[in-house]
Amino acid sequence: TRSTRPQRLLHAVQKNATRGDPRSVINAIDQFCRHKEWAMNVGDEKGCILDSVVSEVNPSTVLELGTYCGYSTVRIARLLPPGAKFITLEFNPKVAKIARQVIAWAGLEDKIQLVEGASGDLIPKMKEQFGVETFDLVFLDHWKDRYLPDTKLMEECGLLKKGSILLADNVICPGTPDYLEYIRNSPRYKSQYFKSHLEYTKVEDGLEKSVFLG
Ligand SMILES: Nc1ncc2ncn(CCCCCNC(=O)c3cc(-c4ccc(F)cc4)cc(O)c3O)c2n1
Ligand SMILES: [Mg+2]
């Protein structure tokens, strides 16, 4: 049977990237997705914005919703200080298996805790099961209709503190209208839109960065 897109992406990493070199893994995936087969990684253009936010926040605790093949996971983990706690959630076991291998190829498996399951089920368990108090940074990149309910869930579970940063991918394409409306009108957040493009295309997309005000 034909391989899957994540499997083909992993093979491109194993063929073209150097083990233990996160930058080469990032480049191998971007090359593959730009020239061989598009995939829904945050990509190089939005990835630079992600890098600058991670570097600015310099977070001790990070949550990523939607690992996919681990591209943004590698981008984030390579910038984290030693001892930082980074949890990434992936729903699909087959995709999670690929992501673990991409992360291992980058040599970052010790910095990342990849948990399989749905955000709606796992977020309420963060404190008891993963020993997390609050998150300094949350990267939202999962089902677009889960951004809003999961943000409300994180508020209710006390996982956000004054100054916590939410960074949301795809707020234009595919779009997260209910999330944008909520976060831009809520007095509890200060939001900023970073205009960019849908990964590997000329279509408009962007990242929404929101600071929780407590
Ligand atoms: N609740 C929960 N908990 C945990 C989870 N883990 C995974 N999932 C499911 C996530 C499934 C993938 C989500 N990502 C996207 O759908 C996505 C799509 C496009 C895109 C596609 C086609 C176009 F023509 C244009 C743009 C571009 C992007 O950058 C995207 O990120 C979870 N869900
Ligand atoms: Mg995305």
ipTM of the complex: 0.98
Instruction: Return the ∠ at Cα 114 (arms to 109 and 115), rounded to 5°.
Output: 155
Atom nearest to 89 CA in ligand 1? 4
Binned at pLDDT 50, 70 and 90, residue 65 comes out as: very high
β-bridge partners, 61 = 85
Q: Residue 1 above 90 pLDDT?
A: no
- Check if 6 has its Cβ closer than 6 Å to any atom of ligand 1: no
Model confidence pLDDT, tens digit, residues 91-114:
999 999 999 999 999 999 999 999
User: Which one of the listed residues 169, 205, 208, 209 is annotated catalytic?
Assistant: 169
Other CB atoms within 10 A of residue 167 CB:
24
pLDDT at residue 107 in the model: 98
Paired tokens of 114: 């990849």
pLDDT confidence of 2, banded at 50, 70, 90?
A: very high
Number of H helices, E strands in the chain: 9, 7
CA atoms of 62 and 83, how far apart (whole Å): 12
* CA 63–ligand 2 middle distance (angstroms): 15
Cis, bond preceding 6 (omega within 30 deg of 0): no
To the nearest whole percent, how much of the chain has pLDDT over 70? 100
Ligand 1 close to Cβ of residue 47 (< 6 A): no
Which residue type does 102 have?
V
**170 assigned to active site:** yes
Which residues are paired to 195 by β-bridges? Answer: 206
Burial 86-111 (b: 16+ CB within 10 A, else e): bbbbbbeeebbebbbbbbebbbbeeb
Assigned token pair, 152: 């409300």
CA–CA distances in Å: residue 185 to residues 51, 181, 190, 211? 26, 6, 9, 13
